[in-house]
Chains A and B, each alone.
Chain A
Amino acid sequence: MIAAQKIAPALVFLLWIPASAQPAVAPASGESAGPAAGENAGEYNIVQNWELGYRFATAGGDVQKYDADVNYHNGVRLFSGFLSVHSRTGRGAWFDEIVLTASGLGNDPYESAVLRIRKSRLYQYDLQWRQNDYFDPGLVTSAGYHVENFTRRWQDHNLVLFPQSKLRLIAGYGRNSENGPALSSEDLFEGESGNVFALFSNVHRLFNDYRIGGEAEFSGIKLSVMRRWEFYAEQDSPQTLAPGGAAGFVPGLTTLGGFNRAQPVHGTTPAWMAALLADRKKFAVNGRFTYSKAKDNFLLDEAAAGSGLIGAENRLVMTYGNAERPMTTGDLNVSYFPWDRLTITNNTSYSNTRISGNSFFEEIDLATLSADILNFQFLGIRLLTNSTDARYRVSRRFDFFAGYRYSDRQIRSIQSVTTPGAPFTNTAYSQYDHVQAGAAGFNWILAAPLRLHAEAEIGRSDNPFDPIAEKNYHSIDARLQYRRKSLAASAGYRQNYNNNSTVLTAYSAHARDSFANLSWAARDWLAFDAGYQHLHLDTAGGIAFFAGLPRQRLQTGESIYVSNIHAGNFGLRLALGKRADLYLGYSITRDPGDGRSSLLAPGSVPAALYNVQTFPLSFQSPLARLTVPIMSRLKWNAGYQYYGYREDFGLLGNLENYRANTGYTSLLWSF
C-alpha cells in the first residue's frame, strides 16, 4: 500500500505526459491541485479542481484567417473544471456518481461540458454540451463572399432508467443550433451580365431531436427499439443587400438597388430503429433495422430591383414545394466460433434511399411572367453489401485474418420539368455498380513489447459514379509498436492508391503516409515525446472547360495536385523539484509542395492550371507552460503559444499569412 502511494504520483505524471502535448494553449485536463484521491464527506468522496484565468491574444497579418484557424481572444475563462462525487458504498441515497468536466467556459471559442449522474440500477443521466464560435472569412473559394461568423451549440441529454436490469427505458433530447451573421452571394440578371452581388444573411438554424425507446432481454436475446422525431428549421433567414455590395462583383455592368429574400425551411424526420442481439458460446447474431422519412417544406420569396444593360431591372421569384427522403436500412451480423482460435463473421447490409420532391418556380421580370414551371426530381440509391471475415490465431503471438467484400449499388434518377397543368416528361436513368474487394493481414508479437501489424486491401469497381471515385484501388497499412512502461515508440506506413480511367484521361490518386513517434519518461522529473509524420498525396485527372481571351473556347487539360506535408511535434516536461513544472512544446507543419520556386504569370490557361497544382505553406506553433504550486490546494499557471502561418505564394489571390501571440495566466484551485 505504501509502495502504491509512492508510485501513484509518478503514475499520474506518466499519464499526464501525452495529455500535455496539445497544440492549443489550454491547461491539460486532469491536472489536480488538491489530493488526487479526493476527500471524504459522509458516505461520498469528492474530487474537484477548477482553473480560472485570463486569456490574451494578439494577432497580426490576415486576422480573418487567424480567426478561422485559431480564434482565441482576450477574456476571463474557466479554463477547466472537474468535479466527481462518488458514493463509497455504491449505495448512495440519490446518486452513486456525479462526474462533471468542463473546459473553455466563459466565451472561449471552444467550450464544452460533460455531466454524468448515475444511481446504480435505477438511472443514468448523461449530458453533453458544446459551443463553437465558428468564423469563416470571405474565402477564396467564393471570391471573398460567404463570410460566416456564427456560434454553433450542441447539447444532448440521455436518460436511461433501470440501466442494469433486463428491461431498460431510454429517453433523450438533442439540440443543435447555429446563429450569427453571414455573407452570401446571388447571381442576378445573369442574362445580361452574369453579375454577382454580396448579400447579408442572418443564419438561424435549429435542429431538435427527441427520442424514446427501450431494451428488453429474454432468453439470452436482447431486443432494442428506439423511436425518434427530428425537427429542423431554418426559421427565418432574410437576406438583404450587404453594404457596399450594390456594385456587384463585375464592376460597371449591373447595379442592384434593392434586394430582399426570405427562404424558410421546415423539416421533420420521424424514424424507427429496432435491433436484436444474441450471443452464444459458438455463435453471435445481431441485426438492425431502421426506417426514417425525412420531409422538408420550403418557400423562397425573392425581390430584386436594379439596372443593367437594358435599363431598369426588377425581378420577383417565388419557389415553394417539398422534398422527401424515405430511407430503409437493414444489417445482419453472424459470427461463428467453431474453435477457440477461429472466428468467422459475415455481414449483410442493405440500404435504400429515395429522395424526391416538387419545386414550383415562378419568375416575374419587369412585371411580366417569364417562368412558370414545376420541377420534379428523384434520386434513388439502393446498396447491398456482403462481407465475410475470418480470423485465425496461430499462436499466442501470431494471428491473421482474411476477408472478402462485395457490394451491389443501384442508382436511379428522374429529372423532370413541366409547366403547371401539363404532364411530366419523365426520363428515368438507372445504373449499377459492383465492387469486389479482398483484404488480408496479420498481427505478430515479435517480442513481449514489440508488435507488428500489417494488412492490405484490393478492390475493383465496375462502374464508379464519378471520375474520382474508387475504381481500381488498393491500400496497405503496416505498423510497428514498441511499448515499455516508460518508453513507447511506433512507426508506420499507409498507402492508398486509386486509378479510375476515363475517356478523357486517367484519374489517379496516390496517398502515402508514414510516421514515427517516441515517448519516454526518462525520470520522475523528465519526460519527452516527439513525432514525425509525412503525408503525401498526388493526383492527376482530366478536365474540360471553357476559357480564353477575348472569347472562350473549349479546352482540355490535366488537373494535377501534389501535397507533401511534413509534420513534426515535440514536447518536453520538466519537474523543477516541487517548485514548478515546465512544459515546452513545438509543432510544425511544412508543405513544400512539388518544390517549385515560382508561379506563372496569371491570365493564361496554362497558368490557371499550373498555379494551383500545389499549395506550399508552413504552420508552426511553439508553446511553453509553467505551473507553480502556491499553496497545498492552489497552483498558478502561465502559458504562451505562438502561431505562425505562412504561404509561399499568393496562390489564392493574396497571402493569408498571420502570426499570433496567445497565452494565459490562471489559478488552479481545489477547495
Chain B
Amino acid sequence: MKLLQLLLLAPAFAAAQSYVGGDACRTCHGDIWADFYKNPHYINVASGKLPPEKTGCESCHGPGSLHVASHGATPIPRAFSKMPPQEVLADCLACHSKTLSRANIRRSAHTEAGVVCNNCHSIHKSTAPRFLLAKIQRELCYGCHAEVRAQFDLPVKHRVNEGVIDCTDCHNPHGAFAPTWRNGIRPRMVDQRLFDEEPCLKCHVDKRGPFVFEHAAVRIGGCEACHTPHGSSNPQLLRRPVTYTLCLECHNGAGAFGLQNSGVPMQTALHNLLLPQFQHCTMCHVRIHGSNADANFLR
C-alpha cells in the first residue's frame, strides 16, 4: 500500500520540490544569513548570476519549496546533520573533489571510520579563522584521538599545544598518498611534503640529505624507526631512554637483516658498554642521520 502511495505521489512530490531562492531562507534563518558573507561559500551568492540550484542555501540543501510551504515542518531535502556519512561526503565532493589534497579521500582512514566533512567542518558555525573548522584544529583532532592528546602532554613533544605546529603539518586528514618510506602501506594518514618525502624533513631540513653515507634505517624505515613523533618521556623523542639499547636492538648482527642480508652490523670490539663514553652512541656518531664524510657517521 505504501509503495502504491509512493508511486502515485512521486510525480507530484517531484514537481512540488522546486527552488525558491535564498530570500525565503533568510526569513527564518536570519542568524545564519547574518554573517554568511564571511563564509567562503558566499562567493556564489555574491556573483548574483548563478541559478538557485548552484547558489546559496539550496545549492547544498536542495530545493526548499516544500520546506518553506510547510513553514519548516517538512525538512529540507539535504539536512547534513541527519544524512549518513557517505551521502555527506558525496555531496561535498560534488564541488570539492578535484583537489590534489583530497585525491585519497575515498580510501582514507577517516572515510572508512565514517568521519566525513561535517565531523570536522562547520559550515555555519565555524569558530576557526580558516577552512571552516568547527574548532581550532588540535581540539578538533583531540576530540577523537585522545590518546594522541596524552602524547602531546608528555614532557618531550612537538609543540602542537603551544600552537607552533598543527596536526596538518604532518597529517592529511583527507587521506594521504602511500608513504614512500617503510613498506608503503602504513602509516596511512601521514602526508608527504616537498612532493614525495616524509613530512619531518620539511622542518628538519638538515636531516634530508642526500648524504653519501646514508643511515639506511632512516631512509628505509623513516624517522619513526628511532623516534616517536608526537611525544615521549625520552629525550629527543627517542623510543628508548638511552641510545645504546635503541641502537643495539637493530645493530645486533643477527638474522638476515640489513643492507647485506647478513644482519645489521654490530659494534666493534673497540667498544665497551660499561664505559660511559660507549653508552652514548651519538656522542661519537654525531651525524647519525647521514654523513658525507664518514661511513660510520663520526663527522
Q: Within A112-146, which residues are at the interface with B (CB < 8 Å)?
A: 112, 114, 116, 120-121, 130-132, 136, 139-143, 145-146
Given contacts A19-B135, A110-B163, A355-B214, contact A589 B150 (CB under 8 A): yes
Q: How far is the CA of A303 from the CA of B149 in the complex (A)?
A: 48
Given contacts A323-B209, A329-B180, A429-B261, contact A1 B31 (CB under 8 A): yes
Q: How far is the CA of A288 from the CA of B252 in the complex (A)?
A: 40
- Interface flags for A204-223 (1: CB within 8 Å of B; 0: not) read 01010100000001000010
Nearest-neighbour CB distance to chain B for A512, whole angstroms, equals 10
> Which of these binds chain B: A418-426, A544-552, A573-581?
A544-552
> Which residue among B35, B130, B135, B252 has the maximum number of chain A CB atoms within 10 Å of its CB?
B252
A636 sits at the interface (CB 8 A): no
| A164:B254 contact, CB within 8 angstroms | no
**Which residues does chain A contribute within 8 Å of B177, judged by CB atoms?**
288, 329, 331, 349
Nearest-neighbour CB distance to chain B for A318, whole angstroms, equals 10
- Interface flags for A314-331 (1: CB within 8 Å of B; 0: not) read 000101010111010101
Known contacts A4-B34, A383-B180, A383-B183; can you find 19 more A-B pairs with CB under 8 A?
Answer: A30-B127, A90-B42, A99-B130, A114-B130, A121-B43, A139-B235, A228-B194, A319-B299, A340-B86, A359-B213, A379-B219, A385-B185, A467-B250, A479-B144, A502-B252, A543-B249, A612-B241, A615-B233, A619-B153
Closest to A285 in B: B103
Q: Within A529-560, which residues are at the interface with B (CB < 8 Å)?
A: 531, 533, 535, 541-549, 552, 554-555, 559
Given contacts A69-B155, A277-B98, A561-B240, contact A548 B249 (CB under 8 A): no
> Which residue among B143, B217, B239, B293 has the maximum number of chain A CB atoms within 10 Å of its CB?
B293
| A413:B180 contact, CB within 8 angstroms | no
Q: Is the interface of B mostly helix, strand, loop or mixed?
A: loop
A310 sits at the interface (CB 8 A): no
| B277:A194 contact, CB within 8 angstroms | yes
CB contact between B212 and one of A146, A222, A321 (< 8 Å): that residue: A321
B260 sits at the interface (CB 8 A): yes
Closest to A83 in B: B129
| B220:A465 contact, CB within 8 angstroms | yes
**Which residues does chain A contribute within 8 Å of B103, judged by CB atoms?**
275, 277, 286, 288, 331, 333
Q: Within A181-218, which residues are at the interface with B (CB < 8 Å)?
A: 184-187, 194, 196, 205, 207, 209, 217
* B interface residues (Cβ-Cβ under 8 A, vs A): 30-31, 34-35, 37-38, 42-43, 45-47, 84-86, 93, 97-100, 103-104, 106-107, 111-114, 125, 127, 129-130, 134-136, 139, 142-144, 146-147, 149-151, 153-156, 159, 161-165, 177-178, 180, 182-186, 194-197, 202-203, 205-206, 208-214, 216-217, 219-221, 225, 233-236, 238-245, 248-250, 252-261, 264, 266-274, 276-277, 279-284, 286, 292-293, 295, 298-299
Q: Within A265-282, which residues are at the interface with B (CB < 8 Å)?
A: 265, 267, 269, 271, 273, 275, 277-279
- Interface flags for A1-29 (1: CB within 8 Å of B; 0: not) read 10011011001100110110111101001
Given contacts A141-B280, A224-B100, contact A533 B217 (CB under 8 A): no
CB contact between B127 and one of A15, A146, A224 (< 8 Å): that residue: A15
| B213:A604 contact, CB within 8 angstroms | no
| B236:A437 contact, CB within 8 angstroms | no
> Which residue among B134, B155, B208, B235 has the maximum number of chain A CB atoms within 10 Å of its CB?
B155
Closest to B203 in A: A176
Pairs across A and B, CB under 8 Å, 12 listed? A18-B139, A84-B129, A112-B164, A116-B129, A234-B206, A298-B293, A325-B210, A351-B178, A407-B184, A455-B113, A569-B153, A604-B274
> Which residue among A1, A269, A401, A514 has the maximum number of chain B CB atoms within 10 Å of its CB?
A1
| A90:B196 contact, CB within 8 angstroms | no
| A277:B219 contact, CB within 8 angstroms | no
Q: Within A469-528, which residues are at the interface with B (CB < 8 Å)?
A: 469-470, 479, 481, 488, 490, 492, 494, 502-505, 507, 513-517
A396 sits at the interface (CB 8 A): yes
- Interface flags for A620-664 (1: CB within 8 Å of B; 0: not) read 000000000000000000000000010000011000000000000
| B273:A110 contact, CB within 8 angstroms | no
> Which residue among B125, B150, B212, B281 has the maximum number of chain A CB atoms within 10 Å of its CB?
B212
CB contact between A466 and one of B31, B245, B264, B286 (< 8 Å): that residue: B264
Closest to A131 in B: B164
- Interface flags for A76-117 (1: CB within 8 Å of B; 0: not) read 000000101011111100001101010110000111101010
| A273:B195 contact, CB within 8 angstroms | yes
Closest to B284 in A: A187
> Which residue among B154, B185, B196 has the maximum number of chain A CB atoms within 10 Å of its CB?
B185
| A612:B240 contact, CB within 8 angstroms | yes
Q: How far is the CA of A97 from the CA of B146 in the complex (A)?
A: 34
| A387:B185 contact, CB within 8 angstroms | yes
| A279:B214 contact, CB within 8 angstroms | no
| A552:B269 contact, CB within 8 angstroms | yes
Q: Within A372-415, which residues are at the interface with B (CB < 8 Å)?
A: 375, 377, 379, 381, 383-385, 387, 389, 391, 393, 396, 399, 401, 403, 405, 407, 409, 411, 413, 415
| A26:B210 contact, CB within 8 angstroms | no
CB contact between B236 and one of A139, A384, A559 (< 8 Å): that residue: A139
**Which residues does chain B contribute within 8 Å of A347, judged by CB atoms?**
104, 107, 178
Given contacts A513-B147, A542-B254, contact A290 B114 (CB under 8 A): no
Nearest-neighbour CB distance to chain B for A669, whole angstroms, equals 19
Q: Within A447-470, which residues are at the interface with B (CB < 8 Å)?
A: 451, 453, 455, 459, 461, 463-470
Given contacts A29-B136, A222-B98, A375-B295, contact A437 B185 (CB under 8 A): yes
Q: How far is the CA of A18 from the CA of B136 in the complex (A)?
A: 9
A152 sits at the interface (CB 8 A): yes
| B257:A465 contact, CB within 8 angstroms | yes
**Which residues does chain A contribute within 8 Å of B245, judged by CB atoms?**
543, 559, 561, 609, 612
| A399:B183 contact, CB within 8 angstroms | no
Closest to B241 in A: A615
A358 sits at the interface (CB 8 A): yes
| B112:A389 contact, CB within 8 angstroms | yes
Nearest-neighbour CB distance to chain A for B121, whole angstroms, equals 14
Q: How far is the CA of A45 from the CA of B34 in the complex (A)?
A: 11
Q: How far is the CA of A323 from the CA of B293 in the complex (A)?
A: 11
| B221:A469 contact, CB within 8 angstroms | yes
Closest to B260 in A: A429
Given contacts A295-B210, A300-B293, A533-B146, contact A645 B164 (CB under 8 A): no
| A605:B153 contact, CB within 8 angstroms | no
Nearest-neighbour CB distance to chain A for B122, whole angstroms, equals 9
| A250:B235 contact, CB within 8 angstroms | no
- Interface flags for A339-350 (1: CB within 8 Å of B; 0: not) read 011010101010
CB contact between B84 and one of A271, A290, A300, A396 (< 8 Å): that residue: A396
**Which residues does chain A contribute within 8 Å of B183, judged by CB atoms?**
383, 385, 407, 409, 433, 435, 461, 469-470
